[in-house]
């Protein structure tokens, strides 16, 4: 085989190679696009569920905080009434539970704030 013929065959072979590489690159892009959209679709679905659950939690915490606020105004009245009757307020279980709930409510106010930020950021 002559040198010119060999060079011609090599050039023909090399001319075909970039096309194979280009096709492989587009196949890689296709696979990556498929992976990207499959994962973002799944993430969006999960995010919708989280948002729904966050709204439910927000409503429950809000309701609990409202109850704690009402308890806060009643505890002083209960303590005064107990003292007027000669009963030690520390022996009233409901009063102690209410004080604990009022204290816990301040922590839930911070949680509620975080949940509201989460909801508004989506």
Q: Which residues of the chain have pLDDT under 50?
A: none
Residue 105 to residue 68: CA distance in whole angstroms: 6
Q: What is the pLDDT of residue 76?
A: 93
92: containing domain: 3-121
- Candidates 118, 106, 121; CA nearest to 58 is 118
Q: What is the domain count for the chain?
A: 1
CA 2 to chain centroid, in Å, comes to 71
55: tokens are 């709204």
Contact indicator for 85, 58 with CB cutoff of 8 Å: no
pLDDT the model gives residue 95: 95
Distance CA 87, CA 82 (A): 5
- Residue 19 pLDDT: 63
Name the H helices within 1-122.
3-84, 93-121
Model pLDDT, residue 109: 96
Pair 47, 122: CB distance under 8 Å = yes
């Amino acid at each position: 085989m002559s040198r010119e013929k060999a060079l011609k065959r090599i050039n023909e072979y090399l001319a075909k190679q970039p096309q194979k590489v280009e096709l492989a690159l587009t196949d890689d892009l296709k696979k990556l696009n498929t992976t990207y959209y499959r994962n973002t679709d799944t993430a969006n679905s999960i995010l919708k569920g989280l948002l729904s659950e966050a709204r439910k939690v927000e409503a429950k915490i809000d309701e609990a905080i409202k109850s704690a606020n009402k308890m806060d105004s009643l505890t002083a009245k209960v303590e005064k009434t107990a003292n007027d009757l000669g009963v030690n307020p520390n022996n009233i279980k409901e009063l102690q539970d209410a004080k604990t709930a009022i204290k816990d409510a301040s922590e839930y106010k911070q949680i509620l704030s975080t949940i509201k930020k989460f909801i508004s950021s989506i």
